[in-house]
Amino acid sequence: MKTLFKNLASELKIELTDEQINRFFKYKKLLVETNKYMNLTTITEDRDIILKHFIDSLTINQYIENEKKLIDVGTGAGFPGVPIKIIRDDVEITLLDSLNKRLNFLNTVIDELKLKKINTIHGRAEDVAHFNEYREQFDYVTARAVANLATLSELCIPFLKVGGIFICMKANIEEEIENAKNAVKILGAEIIAIDQCILPESNIERNIILIKKVKNTLSNYPRKAGLPAKFPLK
């Protein structure tokens, strides 16, 4: 499996060291063991974890410049934030999630893997994005979630500095892109690229949407918890 993982990463032009591979496999072990009593993922087979969690997360590495700050909104079991951290010592990463038990798991992962320049925050994006220490403080925001693009944009864009990039990872996007264009504009950003890829040695399609912050987000966004999902901006 380690050879498979190394080969798959090579197709993304990522050459993994033995130390990085060992960290990934320790992460995988912790994920599978913890998943027996905590709902972290429905993906539990070794090859699927490697492809659909690890490799999928690493597809965004090419967009992240050196020595930057990134926040992973709704990180769940740590994707894509933890895989990016494992291969990028230079990037400072914050993992945000609304469930404390997930963050307890991630803190264990951080300790066990001896990762540096990575921290966790417990809270909802709708609330945390209004805290001065986090609002418009990041070069990159990532989200690998099932919410529609308009909702995700409202949750994520307020964290970005002007000039920062929201890297949104989604499977299906055609209708969402059109519906989200005005929401993105309201939030002070613009869609600058939509890249499509197929995960190595599979037929799994992925879309990576790059949204650039061009001006400060109005102070009333994001709206109160639950509203972005119930009533997406139009």
pLDDT tens digits, 61-110:
999 999 999 999 999 999 999 999 999 999 999 999 999 999 999 999 99
Kindly state whether residue 196 falls inside one of the protein's structural domains.
yes
Kindly state whether residue 26 falls inside one of the protein's structural domains.
no
pLDDT tens digits, 3-58:
999 999 999 999 999 999 999 999 999 999 999 999 999 999 999 999 999 999 99
Greatest Cα pair distance in the chain:
49
Return the CA Rg of the chain: 17
The pLDDT of residue 74 = 96
d(CA 51, CA 202) in angstroms, rounded, equals 9
Per the structure, the count of domains in the chain is 1
* Residue 187 Cα distances to 125, 158, 179, 192, angstroms: 15, 7, 14, 15
| pLDDT level of residue 146 (50, 70, 90 thresholds) | confident
* Residue 45 Cα distances to 51, 91, 99, 111, 172, angstroms: 10, 29, 24, 24, 24
Kindly state whether residue 168 falls inside one of the protein's structural domains.
yes
Long-range contacts at 44-48 (CB < 8 A, ≥ 24 apart):
46/1, 47/1, 47/4
Kindly state whether residue 17 falls inside one of the protein's structural domains.
no
Kindly state whether residue 80 falls inside one of the protein's structural domains.
yes
pLDDT tens digits, 167-194:
999 987 878 898 899 999 999 999 999 9
Kindly state whether residue 135 falls inside one of the protein's structural domains.
yes
pLDDT tens digits, 28-41:
999 999 999 999 99
